[in-house]
Structure 1
Amino acid sequence: MQALPVQTAELKADQDIVREGDHPTRCCVLLEGLACVYKLTAEGRRQIMAVQVPGDIPDLQSLHLNTLDNSVGTLTPCRLGFISHDAIRELCRAHPRIGGILWRETLVDAAIFREWMLNLGRREAYGRLAHLLCELVARLRAVGLVQDDTCDLPLTQAELGDILGLSTVHVNRTLQELRAAGLITLRGGSLTVDDWAGLAAAGEFDPAYLHLQPRRT
């Protein structure tokens, strides 16, 4: 199989990759760092719809939808790979299994979005945050970025608030509650899960919706 032509770029934290209303001609693959899919209210208040980890393609829908209905931005410094739509379409025509893999990617994204809707709509702040942390650790573990239940998670309390629909004060208080319960240690942009079973119970976390596949060794 011929290698895809990929253009790489490095972006600082808090930079837009694509914006709502854009008409992209390429997709981006997140190679390093954390990014997010988000929308803004008329007053400029941000709601983060998804957190992207390395290996994700946050704007895959642009392959078939001409106009983006959301923005994608960096949460941390990121390294990205950009692949033209034409190259992806040609690859899918030549290798139909690749098209199936990309279709599966969109279905998993939809499953995660449904779980986020439940989390935001029906769980209290304590459970919301516990569930989010469980999910991020599970997804980072799947791509080899968790060591001994510890991973880099340099998200600010304001960013957590934009994800969970909570004020910064409420996020701070909830983090303190999770720490006091002995579930997590969050220090210097590093998260350690001290009690996985307890954190999962607090967030009612069941990883089935992530449809993770075991890593091959």
Structure 2
Amino acid sequence: MAHPLIRKLEQFTRLSADDQRLLERVTSEHVRRIGPREDIVSEGDEPGEIHLILSGWACRSKQLEDGRGAILAFLLPGDLCDLDNFLLRTMDHSVGALTAVTLAGIPRSLFEDLMLNHARIAQALWSSALIDAAIQREWTLNLSQRTAYERLCHLLCELFLRLRTVGLTQGSSCELPVTQAKLAEATGLTLVHLNRMLQELRAANLVVLKSKTLTIPNLEVLMSAALFNPAYLHLDQAGEASDTAAAVPILALDERSDGLQL
């Protein structure tokens, strides 16, 4: 499979062979593997490198002083965990592994070189950051306006499409390696309510969940149930073949992500 970061960035800008070789090099020199439930970076840290997920799933999260917390985003292969720290330096949230994760650390000096001296790479990285912000806005809308049923449908649609962009879907199925408790944190639901919504989705044959694998029999029907408009993911604009164009991703529907523990 193609390098997940290169595959993701080429949704925005066509990268030259030299650009691709450079990205492969800088993301292969500081690789490490961490286990589930380990922190990649914690709130208050001042990391000296930018972290890229090569495999596995992670999440952004914040906690209140009394221990209550929420998942703010799911991070998938090809995602940069802490791009904002290129400028902001100090983490204002935590990033933790949900599964075993393989990470590439890009030293700040190398990342600065990418941003300042390689225009197409920089353009693609900022485009990716803008899509992340758009996803965050959609999650805010989910929590304030969509019903519990719609929220869960919407999240499953989004994860499926994002996995498709980096080649981690197979047909209409994908792995979904998160527990119901984590899905509840991401959707602002209690575990009991989340479980009830999953049972409703199964009864309506909108999803099939088995052995940590999610299958969506009819994606269009699930999108309709979620009031899902994929415009915020900018899937309708394929990257142009020119050296200067920055286009935004196209998303074909497929299925292979990480599984759901039930």
C-alpha separation between the residues in 1 aligned to 2:83 and 2:77? 14
C-alpha separation between the residues in 2 aligned to 1:190 and 1:37? 22
Are 1:152 and 1:190, in contact at CA under 8 Å, matched by a contact in 2? yes
C-alpha separation between the residues in 2 aligned to 1:112 and 1:214? 15
The answer on 1:20 being equivalent to 2:43 is yes
**Number of the residue aligned with 1:67:** 90
- The one-letter amino acid of 2:45's match is D
Matched residue SS, 2:26 = coil
TM superposition score normalised by structure 2: 0.79
Gapped regions of structure 2 (runs ≥ 5): 1-17, 236-248, 252-262
Return the structure number with greater relative CO, CA threshold 8 A, min gap 6: 2
**Number of the residue aligned with 2:126:** 103
RMSD: 1.3
The answer on 1:122 being equivalent to 2:145 is yes
Equivalent residue in structure 2 for 1:4, among 10, 18, 26 = 26
C-alpha separation between the residues in 2 aligned to 1:185 and 1:211? 27
C-alpha separation between the residues in 1 aligned to 2:170 and 2:26? 31
- The one-letter amino acid of 2:60's match is V
C-alpha separation between the residues in 2 aligned to 1:42 and 1:194? 42
Equivalent residue in structure 1 for 2:117, among 72, 94, 119 = 94
Gapped regions of structure 1 (runs ≥ 5): none
Share of identical aligned residues, percent? 46
TM superposition score normalised by structure 1: 0.95
Are 2:234 and 2:250, in contact at CA under 8 Å, matched by a contact in 1? no
Equivalent residue in structure 1 for 2:157, among 110, 134, 156 = 134
Matched residue SS, 1:197 = helix
C-alpha separation between the residues in 2 aligned to 1:70 and 1:125? 25
C-alpha separation between the residues in 2 aligned to 1:109 and 1:65? 16
Matched residue SS, 1:54 = coil
Equivalent residue in structure 2 for 1:85, among 103, 108, 121 = 108
Are 1:154 and 1:188, in contact at CA under 8 Å, matched by a contact in 2? no
C-alpha separation between the residues in 2 aligned to 1:43 and 1:210? 34
**Number of the residue aligned with 2:250:** 214
